[in-house]
Amino acid sequence: MTKVAVILSGCGVYDGAEIYESVLTLLALEQEGCEYQAFAPDIPQAHVINHLTGEVMDESRQVLVEAARIVRGNIQDLATANPDDFDALILPGGYGAAKNLCDFAFKGADCTIQPEVLRFCKAMAAQGKPLGFICIAPAMIPQIFGEGTKATIGTDAETAALIEQMGGTHVSCPVDEFVIDEERKVVSTPAYMLAGKISEAATGINKLVKTVVRLSK
């Protein structure tokens, strides 16, 4: 049975993992007959956003603790993840991917990736295993895979330009499709970078999951 690692970045679109994207990913994996294990880095969130008002709140939360909400507590510290145990890796989006898994939201093309995230992603890539990136998470692709790697965040020109600046090759993509770099086994889809409703995000995510699973065989 294909076993897939999923890295979450908290809980909630504005400061953590996008909940719809995360759940759709897990559902699609289950429907493909895969086993999955969720991980998150055990670090403080960049900040906490009130999802009712959009304002920054005067409190701190841990990425791992918050991400545990999405998976009913079935999550592990990313520092303990062993790439030998998995056939593939998927990273859902949400601002947490660009604030907690890396600092792209704050530093753009000068961003760095959180060390445990970078370690695990690079280790999986080095073993020739497929990786899937959803929504804004593909912003990390150039730093993980190097220059010329194909990626998409949809059609946002400003974000696409930053990915190109980091050495990636951005490919415009509609919400219900995905982009694949066959050589490096990297798959990306826009999801809520473009989606207006959950069903639109689901179409692209389902295709991404199917493709990642196919590449893992």
- pLDDT tens by residue, 33-82: 999 999 999 999 999 999 999 999 999 999 999 999 999 999 999 999 99
User: Tell me, what's the pLDDT at 175?
Assistant: 98
User: Tell me, what's the pLDDT at 63?
Assistant: 98
Active site residue 121: no
Name the residue ranges covered by the structural domains of the chain.
3-216
User: Tell me, what's the pLDDT at 87?
Assistant: 98
- pLDDT tens by residue, 74-94: 999 999 999 999 999 999 999
User: Tell me, what's the pLDDT at 172?
Assistant: 98
- pLDDT band of residue 30 (cuts 50, 70, 90) is very high
User: Tell me, what's the pLDDT at 102?
Assistant: 98
User: Tell me, what's the pLDDT at 112?
Assistant: 98
User: Tell me, what's the pLDDT at 205?
Assistant: 98
This prediction's pTM? 0.98
Q: Given 11, 102, 111, 135, which residue is catalytic?
A: 135
Q: Are 24 and 205 in contact (CB under 8 A)?
A: yes
- pLDDT tens by residue, 122-172: 999 999 999 999 999 999 999 999 999 999 999 999 999 999 999 999 999
User: Tell me, what's the pLDDT at 162?
Assistant: 98
- Tell me whether strands 186-189 and 179-181 are parallel, antiparallel or unpaired: antiparallel
Rounded Cα distance, 118 and 114, in Å: 6
User: Tell me, what's the pLDDT at 26?
Assistant: 98
181: its two tokens? 């770099």
3-state secondary structure the chain: CCEEEEECCCCCCCCCCCHHHHHHHHHHHHHCCCEEEEEECCCECCCEECCCCCCEECCCCEHHHHHCCCCCCCEEEHHHCCHHHCCEEEECCCHHHHHCCECHHHHHHHCCECHHHHHHHHHHHHCCCCEEEECCHHHHHHHHHCCCCEECCCCCHHHHHHHHHCCCEECCCCCCCCEEECCCCEEEECHHHCCCCHHHHHHHHHHHHHHHHHHHC
Instruction: Please give the average per-residue pLDDT across 166-189, as a whole number.
Output: 98
User: Tell me, what's the pLDDT at 182?
Assistant: 97
Query: What is the CATH superfamily name and number for domain 3-216?
Result: Class I glutamine amidotransferase (GATase) domain (3.40.50.880)
